[in-house]
Amino acid sequence: MKLATVLHSLGLTGSVLDFSKTIISVDTYIAKETPVAKSRLLANIGPDGDKSHGALAGIVIASPSTKNPDYLYTWTRDSALVFKLLIEDFVSGDDPSLRGLIDAYISVEATIQQTPNPSGPAGKGGLGEPKFNIDGSAFTDPWGRPQRDGPALRATAMMQYAEWLLKTGNSSYVKRSLWPIIQLDLDYVATSWRQPTFDLWEEINSESFFTAVVQHRSLREGSSLAVKLQQHAESLKYNAQADGVLCFMQSFWNPDRAYMRANTGGGRSGLDSNTVLASIHTFDPSAGCDTATFQPCSDRALSNLKKYVDSFRRVYALNKGVRTPDPVATGRYPEDVYFGGNPWYLATLAVAEQLYDALLTWHTLRAITVTPISQHFFTQFAPGISPGTYRADSNSTSSTYSHLSAAIRAHADGFLAVVARHTPPDGGLAEQFDKASGAPASAVDLTWSYAAALTAFRARKGGSSGAWGAKGLDVVC
Ligand code: NOJ
Ligand code: NOJ
């Protein structure tokens, strides 16, 4: 019997049918792309990676591309996001072979922390330096510096490993070797989060939402790790600063337009994947749909996501004729002109990931709440829906909850399908894909693109990097 007939006989009609078609092709894509992404990501890590010759052990190159653009450098941000994923793979038991590489990352980053550079002295202001040469030496040409998200992301990655080491009885190594490295980054964050920073796209020197949220997360994690290491004064200090950052984060919300502004400067709309990345990289599955920490299923984050996605409907020829709410290719921000301004793989993947994260939390809560802020997001899937809480009902597959979760999962899959459609046959993921032809553009084999694919795929299976302390926080201003 044909699938269509089976579904029809089950009383499942039109849109559900499209949903299942999407699932089939997305499943195939994920099965094929997962091993490619993992091996090409590892190929970009020194000293043995196939594409990273000359890189020190543990150094992540951003991409092997040496011209137009030249990305054969190591960025603290990209490296930390990549190792965050690898460390999670290791501590979850999925890939025990990664331990040597993780230790190499820690030791090379400890050296980089002590390398004087144009952002400032070793172990102090120099921690905000965004990128280094792949032999670990300082990069001294002009650049958008400092970028204050790097130390926070690096601390978060290393703390995940530290927590695992503590659980497995390695506390002396954590205390003596790892904590001092982490502490340098946390102290940098604690003392400098109020100061201006270049944003993650290295363009605007102001204050930036992504930077603030990853700083906030690192300080909360630092506070709780410090307690375990009997560093009570440190713990209080990090927590007090985290309260300040959490308050500051709220100021990015634009209540009139119902989205999160990415930066305080820059003179743009402020719609930016900065904020979507902020939500997925601070997802805490135990925090419910908390608004203050901008959880993926919070009303603000859902409203923001829709505004962000819709801003790309008119800017790329590729999206022409795709009407709301159907999934489209998305980029860094609609005004982007870098390489002509194209969709990015990691940006489109982040949209899917936020939605899968939201689905995971709703599933845990057994309920979806619609508020006046998120109503326009939900209306896309349930015209006329009103604010309220819609509970999962085990006796019914026709409840509003079931309808919404199926439709939103199909929606998320649609963004993966866009990425799948523009992935070349060998599975390589560049930085961007052309806004008209869909062909890969800018840096080839962008390490961060592979990491973004792998975390989105994990989220689709209901996986996450776990709780970090977002639950039950009060905004104290
Ligand atoms: C401008 C780009 O938008 C930015 O992201 C990039 O890092 C710099 N140029 C340097 O290539
Ligand atoms: C440019 C991106 O804008 C930035 O976020 C990234 O760190 C570098 N390329 C390296 O991938």
Protein residues with CB under 6 Å of any ligand 2 atom = 62, 71, 75, 77-78, 200-202, 448
pLDDT of amino acid 22 = 56
Ligand 2: which residue has its CA nearest to atom 2?
201
253: β partners? 260
Number of neighbouring beta carbons within 10 Å of residue 222:
31
Burial state string for 441-476 with b = 16 or more CB within 10 A and e = fewer than 16: bbbbbbbbbbbbbbbbbbbbeebbbeebbbeebeee
pLDDT of amino acid 23: 55
Query: Is the shortest distance between the CB of 338 and ligand 1 below 6 Å?
Result: yes
**Closest ligand to the CA of 145:** 1
Quick check: CB of 73 below 6 Å from ligand 1? Answer: no
Per-residue pLDDT of the chain (477 residues; tens, 9 = 90+): 334 333 333 333 333 334 445 555 999 999 999 999 999 999 999 999 999 999 999 999 999 999 999 999 999 999 999 999 999 999 999 999 999 999 999 999 999 999 999 999 999 999 999 999 999 999 999 999 999 999 999 999 999 999 999 999 999 999 999 999 999 999 999 999 999 999 999 999 999 999 999 999 999 999 999 999 999 999 999 999 999 999 999 999 999 999 999 999 999 999 999 999 999 999 999 999 999 999 999 999 999 999 999 999 999 999 999 999 999 999 999 999 999 999 999 999 999 999 999 999 999 999 999 999 999 999 999 999 999 999 998 777 779 999 999 999 999 999 999 999 999 999 999 999 999 999 999 999 999 999 999 999 999 999 999 999 999 999 999
Closest approach atom of ligand 1 to CA 69: 11
Nearest-atom number in ligand 2 for the CA of 77 is 7
CA distance 324 to 343: 17
- Ligand 2 centroid – CA 59 distance (Å): 16
Cα 445 to Cα 232: distance, rounded to the nearest angstrom: 44
Calpha distance 98→111 (Å, rounded): 20
Query: Annotated catalytic sites, by residue?
Result: 199, 202
Per-residue pLDDT of 110-169, as tens digits, reads 999 999 999 999 999 999 999 999 999 999 999 999 999 999 999 999 999 999 999 999
d(CA 218, CA 403) in angstroms, rounded, equals: 37
Alpha carbon of 201 to ligand 2 centroid (Å): 6
What atom of ligand 2 comes closest to residue 62's alpha carbon?
Answer: 11
69 lines ligand 1 (CB under 6 A): yes
The CA–CA distances, whole Å, from 110 to 161, 172, 312, 331 equal 15, 18, 40, 33
- Distance, CA of 400 to CA of 54 (rounded, Å): 56
Task: Name the residue with the closest Cα to ligand 1, atom 10.
Answer: 202
pLDDT for 393 = 82
Return the closest-CA partner of residue 456 out of 97, 94, 37: 37
Nearest to 190 by CA among 223, 156, 149, 237: 237
Give yes or no for a contact between 196 and 207, defined as CB atoms under 8 angstroms apart.
yes
Query: Which residue's CA lies nearest to atom 1 of ligand 1?
Result: 338
344 within ligand 1 shell (Cβ under 6 A) = no
CB 345 within 8 A of CB 446: yes
48 Cα: distance to centroid of ligand 1 (angstroms): 28
Tell the residue nearest (CA) to atom 3 of ligand 1.
Answer: 338
In ligand 2, the atom with minimum distance to the C-alpha of 447 is 11
- Look at residues 87, 113, 107 and name the one whose alpha carbon lies nearest to residue 46: 107
Q: Whose CA is nearest to atom 5 of ligand 2?
A: 201
Q: What structural domains does the chain harbor?
A: 1-43+304-470 (1.50.10.10), 55-254 (1.50.10.10)
Which stretch of DSSP H or E encloses residue 84?
Answer: helix 76-91
Q: What is the pLDDT of residue 96?
A: 97
State how far the Cα of 31 lies from the Cα of 325, in Å rounded to an integer: 27
Distance 281 CA to ligand 2 centre (A): 16
Answer for the pair 238, 186: CB distance below 8 angstroms, yes or no: yes
pLDDT computed for residue 400 by the predictor:
96
**SS3 of 283-305:** CCCCCCCCCCCCCCCCHHHHHHH
